[in-house]
Each structure stands twice: as C-alpha cells, then as structure tokens.
Amino acid sequence: MTSAYYGKREKLYLDDLHWAIIKASHILHSNGIFDAYGHVSVRNPDNLSNFLMPRNLPPALLQSADDIVEYKTDDAEPVEKDTPAGFAERAIHSEIYKKFPGVNAIVHAHSTDVLPFTISEVPLKACIHTAGFLGKIPPVWDIASAYSSSDKKDLLVRTATLGHSYAASFKPETSTGFLYQKMKAALPTTIGGGTPDPSTVPDHPVVLMRGHGFTSTADSLEAAVYQAIYTAEAAEVQLNAITIHDAHFGRTVEGQVDVGEHGSGKIKSAKVKTEGKIKYLSDKEVGDAWAFSRDTMMRPWALWCREVEVSPLYKCDVKKEEEGDGK
C-alpha cells in the first residue's frame, strides 16, 4: 500500500507514486466515480509539505509522469515554474493536507449516486458491509456558508479560505471522533492500525458537498479510492432501498378531521405513518466491517488495476520499480 511510503522506509521511487496516481484515476473513471472531472492526489513522502496531483486533464486520459505536477501545501501553487495548467480546486487538497498530517491521499469526485444526499437533507448512512468507513452519518458541507462577497458562486472550492472551511468539516467542533479512532485502533499496525494522534486525522474520512460531490481522505491512495467507490455504491444501495420501501409500504396520514359547524374538513394534528424500516449498520458493525475492509482492500485494488490494464481506453507509460530496470 502507498501508506508504506510514509514513515520509516529504505527506498522510494516516485515513479511508483506516479503510477499509482494514474492507475487510481483510471480506476475511478472505470467505476463511474469520475467522468471528465474529478481528481486524486498524494502527499510527497520525500517532502511532506508538498503533494502530487494530475494536471488539468480528464482522469481517463492520464498517461505519463509529465501529467503529474508537484504542488506546495502552503498555497497550492506549483513547486516548479512553467508547469501545465492545474485544477481549479487544488485548495481542497492543500487545505486538507495542511490541517491533517495523517492524511496522505485524497479523492475528490462528483458521483451522481451521492449527489441526492447532498441536497435532500436525507442523510447518507452505512448500509452495506463495505461502507463501514462512513461511520454513522458523513457531514454535508454547504459552500454558501463560506462564500465571501468576491467569490464566484459556482460551488467550486477556488480559494484557500473556501478550502479551509471545507477541511474543517472533516473534524467538526461538536464531534469527538470516537468512532473513527476506535476503527483505526482496531486495525493491525501493518496496515495503519494503532491509535493515531487524534489531531492528525479527520473524524470523518468522507465529507459530502452540497450540490457538488464528496471527498475521500485516507493514509493511502488505495484506501482513498476504495472509500470513494464504496461511498457511491452505498449511496446507490440506500437510494434503491428507499425507493422499494416506499413503493411497497406506502405512507398513510393519521389525524383528526375538522368537521365542526364551520369545519374545513382538513386533517388536524396529522402525522405520517409508515410501515417497515431500512436497517443500517450498528456502531459495532461499522467498526468491525471497516477493520475487515482495510485488511482486504488490496484484493479489489488488484482487480481494478487489471480491469484498466486490459482496457484500450486507459494508457500508462509509467512503470513501477519492480517492473522497470531495477534502478
């Protein structure tokens, strides 16, 4: 996992991270999380104050190391001059990295399965065992609360101020972070377990954005990709469950009818009654399910990599260290 690049290590080939960024972008497009938009990034393990991110290019078309740009976490500006144009929302990445030293990878996406939960006030919940990382209810950040008078009102996180506000929603002041820390503590130390400093990691690894999408944060790129894919899958399952629940059980209105001399015939003190209920994961199930997923996520990662490797759409000129010349 790319989390092995952070902390003690004997060697590191940046080509491996370039390869991982390209593969992650292809995988997220192949799984319908990205379309022409969306982006991933990883922290530079040789300089934790910088991060690596694709240039402004459709994710499916990333191909070479020249498509990857190094940016400064401090201001989201390129480290080198004369670099290709970057994404407008780099501040999402820079401000999250700045606030959370324990985050090493980020995925930002606009999945249409997730979008209904950003605008309807219906909370997205962990309803399948592959989505335990969602915890109880991921927050929904509304950019309208952070706009300045000079900002474009296009829902894009274009400035450090907007990025800072969004990053803060990953650790709300009212949240203790207990559940996330409990999940992390349950993991084997070889895959990122143990008890981290609570100040270095988000309380919520995934946060939604009103009318925009969501962002997945993790200590490895594989985990960030896994969370993004299964956030969308959990949203699809929950949407389908709500649809068939309401279609099967329906809703009835109970109350008193105003039938007095001048009664209007309207129902007074009415309440909506529904039968049945949608069953979500319990707190214990959330923690245990996420611990299992973290232990096995390289299985779907290997499958996803193979799927994009055999597709003629996706091209990758970068070789991993063990695939190269042994440099």
From residue 80, give the alpha-carbon distance in Å to each of 51, 268, 296, 317.
13, 68, 38, 22
- Residue-level pLDDT at 183: 52
* Given 89, 95, 222, 233, the catalytic residue: 89
Domains of the chain: 2-240+280-323 (3.40.225.10)
83 CA to centre of own chain: 27
Tokens 């991060």, located at residue: 51
214-253: b (≥16 Cβ within 10 Å) or e: bbbbbbbbbbbbbbbbbbbbbbbbbbeeeeeeeeeeeeee
Predicted pLDDT at 172: 87
The answer to whether residue 102 scores a pLDDT higher than 90 is yes
The closest of 80, 26, 30 to 50, measured between CA atoms, is 80
User: Which amino acid is it at 171?
Assistant: K
Amino acid at site 206: V
pLDDT in tens, 175-212: 444 455 555 555 544 444 445 577 799 999 999 999 99
CA distances from 215 to 79, 258, 275 (A): 24, 50, 34
- When the pLDDT of each residue in the chain is averaged and rounded to a whole number, the result is 88
Any catalytic annotation for residue 89?
yes
Instruction: Tell me the pTM.
Output: 0.87
Give the pLDDT band (50/70/90) at residue 1.
Answer: confident
Whole-number Cα distances in Å, 303 to 27, 202, 295, 299, 321: 10, 28, 16, 7, 20
pLDDT digits (tens, 9 = 90+) for 117-173: 999 999 999 999 999 999 989 999 999 999 999 999 999 999 999 999 999 999 987
* Statement: residue 90 has pLDDT above 50: yes
10 Å Cβ neighbour count for 47? Answer: 12
